[in-house]
Amino acid sequence: MQQPDADEIRVIFQPMNRVVTVPAGTSLFAAIALSGIAIESICGGKGTCGKCRVILIKGSCTDAPDSGTGCRLTPKEREEGYHLACRVALSTDAEFTIPVESRIDSPQILVTQPAAVGTVEPSVTRYQVELSRSDGLPFASQSVRFTGYTGLRPRITDEQYHALLASETPLAAILSTLRAPPTVLSISPADSPAPMYGVAIDLGTTTVVGCLARLDTGEILATGSALNRQITYGEELLTRIGYSASPAGVATLQKAAATSINDVIGTLALNAGIERTAIIDLCLAGNTVMNHLLCGLDPRYLELADAPVSRAPLIRTAQEIGIAVHPAAGVYCLPNVSRFVGGDAVGDMITAGMNASDEISLLVDLGTNGEIVLGNRNWAASVSCASGPAFEGAGIRSGMRAMKGAIDHVHGDPVTGEIRWSTIGSTPARGICGSGIVDLAVAMVETGTLDFAGKLNFRHPRVRTGPDGAEYVLAQAQETGTGREIVITQQDIDYLMDSKAAACGAIAVLLKRYKYTVSDVRHLYLAGAFGAYTDINNAVRFGILPRFPSASVHTIGNGSLSGAYACLLSTRNRAEAESLAHHMVYIDLMVDTAFAEEYSAALYIPGRPDLFPSL
């Protein structure tokens, strides 16, 4: 290879045939990020998760010394040319293959059509313009009024003002009341007014989902999704908070979030056949950390137990945060409640209608972070728990996100002990995703592979001793699409048990604090991908969720997006969201004495007997 400059390195990534040029000494992980290739990385480049495996084809590279605490490659993997991208410093031109197990390829993203909104009353409104010209007054003193508008005098630019006064035809103006005073966004002929478009966004830790709607009718014109580009810097919230320890880190994550939103908006505008600049209002639902990072705020204080968090909605203009729509378009972020209960949970509540029911309801959203809310129209209490990553395939040796080749469902035969599985896309298995992991745990219990304490049984023929101790072989190398075995280790099971205990323990704390039993809950609302794709019976049998014998179960899909859509089209819904956030109780499990007890009781399958009647 020919080196373009003495201080620059040319790197080729296959099979994408992507080429980047970086300064000598650059981390291979950083070069992959620069290339725009999405690669698995749970730890954000710290060398602890082992997901960013690459294979050196040509050239040479230097691995950082083994710290002894990170993920180690096996001798066989090293012989085959494997490296961890985050541990490699580039010193010469090189070519790498990013193997199939390291790629983020066609992820299964939950995109549900938001429910219809009743009365459409957005924060942007069109008004007829009245001009009162007086020959004896100077040009700048001419009067401009908006028919039917009452309130503070709107903010208008000199360019807009002169355009109004110079027009010989009737005009209409669109006003945004998101901020005080209102702002004139655009002016158009009254007889052919420009359509008003808005976008609702679910800014998730892993994915970004959006829908484009007409603001006058509420009609949804397009939906779309993309991966959150922040995942390159770590899949967990605490990892991203750590990355934002400097202003440069905050700026990087802010730009990644805005670019991800722009990716979705570009798809929406293209599919609907409109210009991006015709989008004049945005409503966004995200967790507290995502909201902070999108708005360029330092989120590090959120690591502190019981840290006070503002419950006022964050409001910006599109231009302020780099969203490629009308520059003056308002961006309304549904209000946060606490450190890890954010606008996404508030959106879920709006969608579920918990605020309109007298009956006791429980809302559960187990994503990368778990949010749980108990209450009815008169009160609500919330907790958050770090349970989600395991249920999304993260932190598991053979775990992967839900995409082509992921084992998504598993069935065990208690009589023969055989286990069958299926994959997304019916292709050879590459790994196992969250829904498959929950199914597998139950199947292993049913076939005697796993005991009630979550320990592997060495008497089972598929259980053996591996590099990290006991492990269960789910798929042989010849059965997979990677040529590598798919195994579940005892460490994986321990992590899964920890996650399920955190979720179940969090629910138990809410019930205990408010003196309710599982029989008192009348509605169970399950939001997000966990509710949509996981076998709920298996989630109960494994002990992630208690059994609620009197409850109706409702899966609400992407409740965060639906809530954002409802608030995009209705200022009343925005007021309701702000009221919910303001009045909701938050229990911080880091300082709650009951959580340790409930967590410990949930470290068995399924868990405390009174939470699992009939099991």
Give long-range contacts, CB 8 A cutoff, 24+ apart: 60-64.
Answer: 60/91, 60/92, 60/94, 61/28, 61/88, 61/89, 61/90, 61/91, 61/92, 61/94, 62/88, 62/89, 62/91, 63/87, 63/88, 64/88, 64/89
What domains lie within the chain, and their CATH numbers? Answer: 8-102 (3.10.20.30), 124-189 (no CATH), 197-333 (3.30.420.480)
21 forms beta bridges with 10
Residue tagged 């580009």 (tokens): 229
User: Do 605 and 454 form a contact (C-beta atoms < 8 A)?
Assistant: yes
Helix (H) or strand (E) holding 409: strand 406-412
Distances (CA, A) of 497 to 410, 489, 574: 18, 12, 38
Q: What is the spatial distance between Cα 263 and Cα 399, in angstroms, rounded to a whole number?
A: 27
Q: What is the spatial distance between Cα 467 and Cα 203, in angstroms, rounded to a whole number?
A: 38
Task: Please name which of 350, 345, 534, 358 lies closest in space to residue 438, comparing C-alpha atoms.
Answer: 534
User: Do 297 and 251 form a contact (C-beta atoms < 8 A)?
Assistant: no
The CA dihedral of 86, 87, 93, 94, to the nearest 10 degrees, is -80
Task: Please name which of 405, 407, 282 lies closest in space to residue 332, comparing C-alpha atoms.
Answer: 282
Residues of the chain with pLDDT under 70: 1-6, 66-72, 105-112, 115-116, 133-142, 388
Q: Give the per-residue pLDDT at 2.
A: 44
User: Do 393 and 401 form a contact (C-beta atoms < 8 A)?
Assistant: yes
CA 129 to chain centre: 42
Q: What is the spatial distance between Cα 361 and Cα 358, in angstroms, rounded to a whole number?
A: 9
Characterise 47 by phi-psi region: left (phi > 0), alpha (psi -120 to 50), beta (else).
left
Contact residues for 106 (Cβ-Cβ < 8 A; gap 6+): 403, 404
Classify residue 128 by burial, with Cβ atoms within 10 Å: 0-12, 13-18, 19+.
Answer: middle
Classify residue 502 by burial, with Cβ atoms within 10 Å: 0-12, 13-18, 19+.
Answer: buried
Q: How many CB atoms lie within 10 A of CB 147?
A: 11
User: Do 239 and 45 form a contact (C-beta atoms < 8 A)?
Assistant: no
Q: Give the per-residue pLDDT at 71.
A: 62
pTM (global) more than 0.75 = yes
Give me the numbers of helices (H) and strands (E) for the chain, helices first please: 16, 29
